[in-house]
Structure 1
Amino acid sequence: MLQLDNLSVRFGGLTAVDGVTLSVGTEDVVGLVGANGAGKTTLFNAISGLVRPTSGKIAFDGADMMNAPMYKRAQMGIGRTFQIPQPMHELTVRENLIVAQRFGTGRVDPHKIDEILAFTSLDGKAERNAATELALTELKALEVAKALATNPRLLLLDEVLAGLETTGKRRFMNMLKDLHEKFSVGIVIIEHDIETISNLCRRVVVLNFGQLIADGTPDAVFRDPAVIKSYTGTEHA
């Protein structure tokens, strides 16, 4: 589905993403981890079209996406969330989903919107002002709901669990597991909590200074000396 080949993103003299080659399919739930500044969000921005890569290739179902605008990538099946929730102001929760759905699919399907609202437990808040009347957990759920409304086959989730207390994080993580099965969507999630990643993901990818240094099962990756060094700065004894 998604294929990155030797992808790099540079900002002046800074190389934020450095020659990353990676493939993700609809069957995958991938944890994308790394220290702060490793290039994780920049990689998401390059895939979704928010920044232009300096070199390399991005393909989705074999189609070249390097020059495709954001709306085209959404229509092709790439949805994403942002670390800081970005509800559309002065719109209700339902209207946020309607706008997202029209952006991603070119049409509005009220039944699909109702299904997503129920799945994300936002059906009781559907007519509330999205920007002013939702708690943090609900704002995080709205980010996921908006992405789902675009009818994606790949979801890029940028620290969607950040800031949630333990019970809320556990509930949200269970929703994400169900989401993968119910909507047949591949997931790549940025998350700093190693326990959460190990419980949620069957595969983990590690970036360090923009370079991909590990790709494998959680158990293998988090025992990798190069990964341990990237987090601690010291060799594993």
Structure 2
Amino acid sequence: MLKLENLSVRFGGLTAVNAVSLSVRSDEVVGLVGPNGAGKTTLFNAISGLVRPSDGRILFDTRDIVRAPLHRRARMGIGRTFQIPQPMHELTVRENLIVAQRFGTGRVDPARLDEVLAFTGLGAKADHDAATGLALTELKALEVAKALATDPKLLMLDEVLAGLETAGKRRFMNMLKELHAKFSVGILIIEHDIETISNLCDRVAVLNFGELIADGTPDEVFSNPEVIKSYTGDGHA
């Protein structure tokens, strides 16, 4: 479904992502981990269209989308969340989903919106102000709901569990497992919590200083000496 070939992103003299090759199938949940500043969110931004790669290719369903605008990528089936929830102010929860769905698909499907609201536990808050009427866990759920409303083939989650307490993380992780099965969507997730990644993901890819240093099962990756080294002093702080 998604295939990156020698993808690089440079900002002036800084190489944020360096010749990364990575794939995600529709039946997989793939974790993207690494020290702070390793290039994870920059890679997400390149895939979703927020930044233009300097080199390499991004193939989605075999089509090179490097030059495709952000809305085109959304309509091809790439949905994403952001680390900091970004509800649209002065709109209700449902209206947030309507805007996201219209952008991502070009239409509004009320039945799909009802399904997403129910699945993410936001049905009772559908008419609440999204910016002021939701707790943190609900704001995180809204990020996922907005992406799901676009009927994605690939769901990219940027630290969607950050800031949640342990019980909240477990509930959210279970929801993501159900989401993967129910909506038949591939998932690429950035997450720092190794326990979460190990329990949720089929594969884990590790970035350090913008380079892919490991790609394998959680057990393989988290026992890799180079990965351990990157987290214990030689990676970014």
Separation in 1, partners of 2:2, 2:194: 24
1:1-27 Cα deviation digits (max 9, x unpaired): 111000000011110000000111111
1:132 alignment counterpart: 132
| Correspondence 1:173-192 to 2 at 5 A | 173-192=173-192
Q: Provide structure 1 residue ranges, at least 5 long, that are not aligned to the other structure.
A: none
**Structure 2 SS opposite 1:79:** strand
2:172 alignment counterpart: 172
| Correspondence 1:134-153 to 2 at 5 A | 134-153=134-153
| Correspondence 1:14-163 to 2 at 5 A | 14-163=14-163
2:4 alignment counterpart: 4
CA deviation after TM superposition for structure 1 residue 54, in Å: 0.5
Letter in 2 for 1:213: I
1:207 alignment counterpart: 207
CA deviation after TM superposition for structure 1 residue 167, in Å: 1.0
**Structure 2 SS opposite 1:134:** coil
Letter in 2 for 1:195: E
Separation in 1, partners of 2:195, 2:101: 33
- Please report the TM-score for the alignment, with normalisation by the length of structure 1: 0.98
CA deviation after TM superposition for structure 1 residue 200, in Å: 0.7
Letter in 1 for 2:113: I
Separation in 2, partners of 1:57, 1:189: 20
Separation in 2, partners of 1:97, 1:15: 35
CA deviation after TM superposition for structure 1 residue 233, in Å: 2.7
Letter in 1 for 2:177: K
**Structure 1 SS opposite 2:26:** coil
CA deviation after TM superposition for structure 1 residue 222, in Å: 0.2
CA deviation after TM superposition for structure 1 residue 181, in Å: 0.2
**Structure 1 SS opposite 2:45:** helix
**Structure 1 SS opposite 2:91:** coil
1:227 alignment counterpart: 227
How many pairs align? 234
**Structure 2 SS opposite 1:103:** helix
**Structure 1 SS opposite 2:213:** strand
1:92-141 Cα deviation digits (max 9, x unpaired): 00000011111111111101000000000000000000011100000000
Letter in 2 for 1:46: A
CA deviation after TM superposition for structure 1 residue 164, in Å: 0.3
1:195 alignment counterpart: 195
Over 3 Å off, 4+ runs? none
- Please report the TM-score for the alignment, with normalisation by the length of structure 2: 0.98
Separation in 2, partners of 1:225, 1:165: 30
**Structure 1 SS opposite 2:46:** helix
Q: Provide structure 2 residue ranges, at least 5 long, that are not aligned to the other structure.
A: none
Letter in 2 for 1:31: G
